[in-house]
Amino acid sequence: MNIVIMGSGRVGATLANRLSKEGHHVGIIDITSEAFERYLDPEFKGRTVLGDGIDEDVLRKAGIATADAFVAAAHGDNHNLMAAQIAKVIFGVKRVVTRCNDPVRMELYEALGLATISPSLIAARSLYDLVMDERLHERDVAAEIERALGSA
């Protein structure tokens, strides 16, 4: 599969590394070369493109014209929405996925036909589940520490 990713931070680069290891053709875009150096594996076999992911020429250099999928994984919601719309509408990419940090905006993204993930909602749900999971809180850690120190 040919995949273009906008955003080479922790999320985008982690995805790019995995897809590259699986043998997919990956083009990744970021506005800073430091992001590539910091987060991409030395074994990353994809294409790195320095530039703005809402610039059509930058998207072309990353391989958008033949992309099977586009992922907008930058930090800015507005930037992700614009890039995703450009990939979907102008370049006709069928699989467009975008990151949306603001859960309220997520409904708008989905109304536009974009598959959307909200790290804020995922984190909140996971934290809720951990707080409410009785099994995780049954242990008396203080008593276990006291027993361990007493036997030392």
**Cβ 50 vs Cβ 33: under 8 Å:** yes
For the chain, what is the domain count? 1
Please check the confidence at residue 8 and state whether its pLDDT lies above 90.
yes
Q: Report the chain's mean pLDDT, rounded to a whole number.
A: 92
The structure tokens listed for 117 are 């993930």
Q: Which domain holds residue 51?
A: 2-118
Residue 109 lies in a domain: yes
| pLDDT at 99 (0 to 100) | 96
How many whole angstroms separate alpha carbon 67 and alpha carbon 65?
6
Please check the confidence at residue 152 and state whether its pLDDT lies above 60.
no
HSE at residue 91, side-chain half, CA atoms within 13 A, is: 28
Q: Per residue in 46-99, pLDDT tens?
A: 999 999 999 999 999 999 999 999 999 999 999 999 999 999 999 999 999 999
Residue 56 lies in a domain: yes
Tell me, rounded to whole angstroms, the distance of Cα 36 from its chain centroid. Answer: 14
| pLDDT at 135 (0 to 100) | 78
Residue 9 lies in a domain: yes
**Cβ 57 vs Cβ 29: under 8 Å:** no
The type of residue at 16 is: A
Global pTM reads 0.85
**Cβ 114 vs Cβ 88: under 8 Å:** yes
Q: What is the domain-level CATH number for residue 40? A: 3.40.50.720
